[in-house]
Amino acid sequence: MDKKMNQTLDEKILEQIRPYISDKLGVAPEEVIPEADLQNDLGADSLDMIEVLMEFERKFSCSIPDEEQEQIRTVGDVINVVKRTSALEWVRDGQ
């Protein structure tokens, strides 16, 4: 996948996850950027992290392995794991 297509896919996924993270964590949508740390910047606690990841597993038809869940720190990490694990055609094919 070329860099431009990958960036566009990242932006599409971000558009899909931003409203949920913003609402769930009570932060402004513009704070939900790939570099934002879910716990340190956006205030997620461990229960929030579990609920956020469960929602994205449902939304993107994916299964995030426990060992990967433990490594997720930023919004960008969420985007990357969704790209790797999603069963949705538009995500898999980078559309």
Instruction: Give the C-alpha distances (Å, rounded to integers) separating 42 from 26, 55, 59, 66, 94.
Output: 8, 17, 21, 22, 27
Q: Which residue has the tokens 């558009």?
A: 15
Which of 45, 66, 77, 93 is an active site residue? 45
Beta strands in the chain (DSSP E): none
- Is 45 designated active site? yes
* Catalytically active residues, by annotation: 45
